[in-house]
A and B are shown apart, each in its own frame.
Chain A
């Protein structure tokens, strides 16, 4: 009976295919947390045991493998997914089987399932601070580029609304397939150079994100003058893009590797010991790490893998994450998160320029975020050395 020897949990992150860079980092975050928990003696004396599959960034595979984890491997708790389309495949499976699914990724909102714990930011937690920042630091004419799926559409809709409230203007909008390569971006980069926006808002994800930043740089685009701003471009992608092409570009996220705090230094040290380097530590990696810890604390409390008991224990639970304190909102299963804005410096590292004063409540069903909401007020991060320093 394996049931009595360990607590089995499922991991569903792609280590191959177009979103493998980011999903590998999420997998690592989860594995690190599992190691830490087991090193401390596990949960109620039993270790966590990960059953991990690689969906290969192929959307329907996520649903099939979730089914396999639950039916064949007898797992009732799963961590996984990056793209919304893959989450939508897993959702009906975990609902039908009443399993618990942890989704450690920012997404577009407008979803709630009692079987999902959402660990990433929804638009109210990152879009509004970013829009404010772009308009005050760079200007009001923004060009939109995005990948061709639900997250960029909805993300751009929110951004457009917020920009309009602040007097901003969307001067162009283009969408691309996930498999788009550098030369396919030639036309849009040319268009950007002609339109001369004040900033570019990019929701291009995966491998093509790297290609886009490179194509922009190759055409003479300079992040220090007209930056590409993103909610998704992370440390792993910046290192792949290279410091020369990445300098000046901006990302808004709850977590950056460069956060200067005890909790983060401890996290990075442990990560480096396990994986040899912290090169691919990202906000989604940190979210996966934190979600495993939140789960473990809940399991310690319940002592059983029953979905309904675990959910009860999880709702309202807090954790001192590397980003600062986070908390699962019992109203909607999403997470109170920090919000920060960072700019890539000459060495290819994110330098945090602004942060909000306290964790922002998730509001996944917010149609119109208000640009002047008091909870989005930011403060300078001392020693940041960024644009506003």
Chain B
């Protein structure tokens, strides 16, 4: 059993929607599914921290306002939009605010559970990918730095790449710091030295 299915009842759900039949259908289904939920209308000033998932009616809403509403909060919410029309300007809003799933009016009970699940998955994957991407970028930069520093040492000392790397590591261990820090120092020193030569 996938964790997302098992943990669905732990979700705190907010519905931002005028109180009409679609809203009632949706709230009742969220209640049946077993999540705690709240209703707000119009769009509140800020999104309270406790909500993990937000259903939002985007009819007659400004995309930029909705986007800043969601972006303001540091912890990202799972966003499911409710739309009345499937025309390009409405679809544009969905993409603009970064919705994770869509329900169309009139909302039917069947399909809500799957939408919640797919939105959760999409959102959690997005989060994971962006974290991974940041980590990879950092790592790549570090590798690049160490490489640059190695070449500087090889040139100055006339040693092999392996010897240059060992030198950097030895320094890092002696100074209780990372190889990246040492590499950065070497690169800085090299640039100061070469600038001196120019002047």
Residues of A bordering B, CB below 8 Å: 110-114, 157, 161, 331-332, 363-368
Contact = CB atoms under 8 A, between A and B. Distances in A.
A113 B6 CA distance: 23
5 contacts: A112-B109, A364-B32, A365-B34, A367-B6, A367-B8
Contact of B1 (A161, A332, A363): A161
Given A331-B28, A367-B6, A112 B34 contact: no
Nearest to B30: A365
A112 B29 CA distance: 8
A368 B34 CA distance: 11
A363 B9 CA distance: 12
B110 A365 contact: no
Given A161-B1, A365-B32, A367-B6, 15 more contacts: A111-B110, A112-B29, A112-B32, A112-B109, A113-B109, A113-B110, A157-B1, A331-B28, A331-B31, A332-B32, A365-B33, A365-B34, A366-B34, A367-B8, A367-B9
B121 to A, nearest CB: 15
Interface residues of B, number: 14
Interface centre among A112, A157, A161, A366 (most CB of B within 10 A): A112
A70 B133 CA distance: 57
B6 A114 contact: no
A363 B34 contact: yes
Contacts of A363: 34
B43 interface: no
B5 interface: yes
Nearest to A92: B110
B66 interface: no
A110 B8 contact: no
Contacts of B32: 112, 331-332, 364-365
A32 B34 CA distance: 37
B113 interface: yes
Contacts of A157: 1
A302 B32 CA distance: 27
B10 to A, nearest CB: 11
B28 A367 contact: no
B115 to A, nearest CB: 14
